[in-house]
Chain A
Amino acid sequence: MNAVDATEHYETSARDPAPALLTVILDTNPHAWALLEDSLPLSKAIANILVFLNAHLACNYANEVAVVASHSQKAAWLYPRENPATTTTTSRDADGDISMNGSSTNNNNNNTATTDGPGQVNKYRPFRIVEEQVTHNLRELMASTTGADVKAANSTMMAGALTLALSHINRRSIAWAEAHGGETAAETSGGGPSSGGRSSGTDTAERLQSRILIISVSGASDSAHQYIPIMNGIFACQRLHIPIDVCKLSGDAVFLQQASDATKGVYMSLTEPRGLLQYLMMAFLPDQRSRRHLVLPTRVDVDFRAACFCHRRVVDVGFVCSICLSIFCEPPENGTCLTCGTNLEMGDYGAKPAVVARKRKKKKRVNGPSGTATPTPTPTPGP
């Protein structure tokens, strides 16, 4: 009779693990790659990333990949993309729609099938399709970049790429859930603002396992003007339990550290970019299920600096609106918050000696030790 107790009844419902969707955001900022030319040229990096994508596809029959390029003036899909000929924003979206409805690996190879001549190397077809599309679309993206474009911008459209990736993940999760009669991602996470931790076992088994890998080369100061959209993207990921992994090849990106910290992803800054493939295989290939068993490289000293809302400067210490928590690098004019319009009492600010009124350490985590201090403009004596 011992066989009939509550623990064993649920065995049969434990279905095969859900497949994983890996979205790679590749920073293709030409300025940053030019600096890396000696250690890791872009072509070599792409070759490494393609092997990594194949490895991810090899792990499970139903695994999916998506690649977004975060270029200097726009974010563009590299894979999946139905019709590589179009480059305008609107038609790109429409294309995404088509390819994402079906199983993307099977559908969008019509235009690449002709290249499969006898001279080609023998290869598993899903691998070949990803590879051909990514290289083709990337080449096209590079060709469409004019010298003027390169001169005009030296940053990368990380926020746009992150948003594209998120919308793709959302669409795939809904499609997957519908096909399998499960819940949609929105339903599970609707329970309230969670802290990004995995709350229970149920949501991991039944859903498409999505994660984002950002391969970043641009520095932090360039992306300061995208602070708000990037942070919004990060919070969306946190809520949907999508880890953002960051593989940093050069420079150091402030916001991306926060991204992987908030979403419990992996952050690695490569000291030796030449070993990219090994880093990718070891640290970034394990999916969420395997990560439960592995010790992952984490970063202890996360840079929590924020960018101000008024001039997009990265600030260590700034002013925070007590109503909407907007950040300013200097007191707004007339004490009116630029975001919510509240008239803020500035207290004795500006009077000599300088007072650290409402000034606090710029921590993003609002309920941190310093954040618990009351935001009332009580003047405290300066140092």
Chain B
Amino acid sequence: MLTKLLSGDTPRSSLLTVILLIVLVCLAFAPFLFPGTKSLETAARICIFIVLVASYDLLLGYAGIVSFAHTMFFGIGAYGTALALSATGPSYVSLAWGTLAGAVLAAVFALAIGLFSLRVKAIFFAMVTLAVASAFAVLVSQMSWLTGGEDGLNYKIPRELTPAFKLVEEKVLDVRINGKLLAYYLVFFASAFLFLVMLRIVNSPFGRTLKAVRDNAFRAEAIGYRVVWYRTTATVLSAVMAALAGSLLAVWLRYTGPATTLSMEIMIDILLMVVIGGMGTLYGAVLGATLFILAQTYLQNLMGIASEATSAVPFLSTLVAPERWLLWLGVLFVLSVYFFPSGIVGRLRAGRA
């Protein structure tokens, strides 16, 4: 039953299994284990990024396609939901049609880009996605009458998902059971569901074919696979998943803007998370996203503590000053790629043998 849920793709390493279970338990009970707004924000962000990074890995790790338009699809989903909620009011109907419209638009864009440019060399596809994504980001910031421009959109979501809504008057385990909690569990379960769907896709005959296409497209054609169709379908699926992740973010933040969805910085973060976790394995997305976002959120605090503790040592305390956290994030990334060229998951699985 469990194996079937995981589509037969078990972690295949006891240490990896343990780590994944810890992540799952922490995310599932985050509101109770780590009370506080910041930690809940972080947990929701991790859930959403697991989906986003996994959908990128579907493209990069499984199909071997390099795309720079992933944040565009993420943004399309977020703006779809955001615009629907602004235009037709904070109802579940708006939520549903906005999400659907975002996913459909993402699929159409991906199909067009795919059919237009996947026939030719991989580098050309990468350049086209970069161009389209940049153009889209400019378009969104210019069309401020619709998108709010650089300021983005603030909107209301259905009342049951806001802190104002109280499910139970008393606190349970010292935690308020309010709409924010419901919103978190919406994000959590939707992310888990989307992750399992992707896990199924990569272990389906289609997913196996993608790996063959990645390995040797020439031979894949010679045994009868239409490589362009497979690549295009992978692009579309990955775009739809990214758009759905974007919709989750839009609901969670109650705000959608270029900085939270479309920026090149996020694109690079996604790339780093895939590589750190391990390409070609969706579990890598879980570890990559979790570690990266934890580091992004808490490294500064951690360094603040370290800096104070070492304030007596002159050079060291400057080195670990909180404002240098990006430097250390970079160092961590270089080290992880150096020591785990196949990602954390690749390393853990290899260690088993």
A and B from one assembly?
no
Hey, which bits of chain B sit against chain A, CB under 8 A?
none
